Amino acid sequence: MYDPKKTKLYKETLGLIARSEAKKRGYEMPQGALSVSMTFVRSIPKSFTAKQRQMAIDGELLPRKKPDLSNFVKSTEDALNGILWQDDNAIVQGINSKIYGLQPRVIVDVQVINNNKF
């Protein structure tokens, strides 16, 4: 399937960063069903007033503009295949959010689900 240039660059960059961090932290790829939480921290627009900026920092103002949260999630799942999980089909539960912050980043938390739980 075709990825737009920006999406391809995002996946490649995220993959490189994740691979480096996983190696540095001694991360071992989990086996089994996974619960994954992703938080996408977006830059605060320069056009925001001081009040809007503070509201964004406090979590009172959330990014409701494109890209869509679902697009971020799918691109991130694909980018992290073979790095944080063998394949994204192992993800059976997810909690995802898009917020503003002072430092743009992606926060990913991976947990193995006890198969007896479901």
Secondary structure class of 37 (helix, strand, coil): strand
Per-chain mean pLDDT for the chain: 94
Could you tell me if residue 91 is inside a domain? yes
Q: Is it the case that residue 118 has pLDDT exceeding 90?
A: no
Could you tell me if residue 96 is inside a domain? yes
Angstrom distance (rounded) from CA 21 to CA 15? 10
pLDDT in tens, 18-48: 999 999 999 999 999 999 999 999 999 999 9
Could you tell me if residue 26 is inside a domain? no
Q: Are 5 and 73 spatial neighbours (Cβ–Cβ below 8 Å)?
A: no
Could you tell me if residue 43 is inside a domain? yes
Here the CATH number for the domain that contains residue 62 is: 3.30.1330.70
Instruction: Supply the range of the domain harboring residue 14.
Output: 5-21+32-117
Could you tell me if residue 27 is inside a domain? no
* Mean pLDDT calculated for residue range 55-77: 96
Sign of the C-alpha dihedral computed for residues 88, 93, 98 and 104 taken in this order: negative
* pTM for the whole structure: 0.90
Specify which residues 99 forms β-bridges with: 41
Q: Specify the number of domains making up the chain.
A: 1
